[in-house]
Amino acid sequence: MKRMGIAHWIGFVAILIWCLLPVVWMISLSFKPVAETAAGSPQFFPKEWTLDVYKEVLNNPDFLLALRNSFGISIIATVLSVIIATLCAYAIARLDFSGKRMVLTIALAIAMFPVVSLVGPLFDQWRFLGLFDTWLGLIIPYMSFTLPLAIWTLSAFFREIPWEMEQAAQVDGATAWQAFRKVIVPLAAPGVFTAAILTFFFAWNDFVFGISLTSTTAARPVTAQMAFFVGPDQFNPPVSTLAAAAVMVTVPIVILVLFFQRKIVAGLTSGAVKG
């Protein structure tokens, strides 16, 4: 047993190093001067630690505008997706209607559809409709791909909530809407948080839609804006600048995960254990 415990700890440490090594390397690069990365320095940690790269990124107006776009688009897509998914999941979990399984199957198939295959048709359609290079032109695709997963997650929670609690609220004088809003939704809070976090992650981390459906900084998200960073010359990409920007873009995600980690785990493991 003791050997098994040691083996488990060795495996845990090995996996941890394997997962965190790229992150540590990215952070290390972000503190290297541009001249050091341009010279192709092979050492892991910087010879000279500096914050100049972070100052350069924060003083870049295009990056700040793209950061605002990412926050705005991601938050709006998240709120709309969670509201629509909550209503749809409740109907699927509570109502009996023909074709319910087909609806869930189609929703899951949409979530698995390759994003790259839709870029070309969306590009032409968005230009025709005037949605190209707009916030709405990115919010709609984000919602289309995140709604199915959010519906699946929330419907699993609503199925576990007993009917008696909703009926008891209605007996006490609550309307159907009040029982749903004040009883059902709070009980499904882990699923709601999970759906919101997954939606926000998809919108925040997206690159394909962001680079393909925008042409200016009016709606370009921060992940796509990083592709326009310019190095000292065409043969030397701005490695340290990209690393610093990547660290700044990753920080909100890390904060969200640490803050809501229990609710995320509860949402993802819902229905995995019965009895």
pLDDT in tens, 94-103: 777 777 778 7
pLDDT of the residue at 269: 60
Please indicate, yes or no, if residue 133 is contained in any of the structural domains. yes
Q: What is the DSSP letter of 96?
A: -
| Structure tokens belonging to residue 182 | 């004040």
pLDDT at 77 over 70: yes
Pairwise pLDDT comparison (83 vs 152), residue with the higher score: 83
Please indicate, yes or no, if residue 204 is contained in any of the structural domains. yes
**Burial tier of 266 (Cβ tally within 10 Å: 0-12, 13-18, 19+):** middle
Q: What is the DSSP letter of 228?
A: G
Please indicate, yes or no, if residue 12 is contained in any of the structural domains. no
Pairwise pLDDT comparison (180 vs 119), residue with the higher score: 119
pLDDT band at 89 (very low <50, low <70, confident <90, very high): confident
pLDDT band at 265 (very low <50, low <70, confident <90, very high): low
pLDDT of the residue at 146: 84
Q: Which residues contact 195 (CB under 8 A, 6 or more apart)?
A: 81, 82, 85, 86, 149, 150, 153, 154, 267
The C-alpha atoms of residue 163 and residue 160 are separated, in whole angstroms, by 9
pLDDT of the residue at 161: 77
Please indicate, yes or no, if residue 210 is contained in any of the structural domains. yes
Please indicate, yes or no, if residue 35 is contained in any of the structural domains. no
Of 52-56, 76-80, 258-262, the range with the lowest mean pLDDT is 258-262
pLDDT band at 273 (very low <50, low <70, confident <90, very high): very low
Whole-prediction pTM: 0.82
The C-alpha atoms of residue 275 and residue 271 are separated, in whole angstroms, by 10
CATH number at residue 98: 1.10.3720.10
Q: Based on the structure, what is the number of domains in the chain?
A: 1
pLDDT at 2 over 70: no
CB contact at 8 A, 245 and 227? no
Mean pLDDT in residue range 14-29 = 86
Expressed as residue numbers, the domain containing 131 is: 60-268
Please indicate, yes or no, if residue 83 is contained in any of the structural domains. yes
Residue 233: strand, helix, or coil: strand
Backbone angles phi, psi at 236, to 5 degrees: -125, 100
pLDDT of the residue at 257: 78
Rg (CA), the chain: 23
Please indicate, yes or no, if residue 87 is contained in any of the structural domains. yes
Write down how long the chain is. 275
Please indicate, yes or no, if residue 1 is contained in any of the structural domains. no
pLDDT of the residue at 264: 66
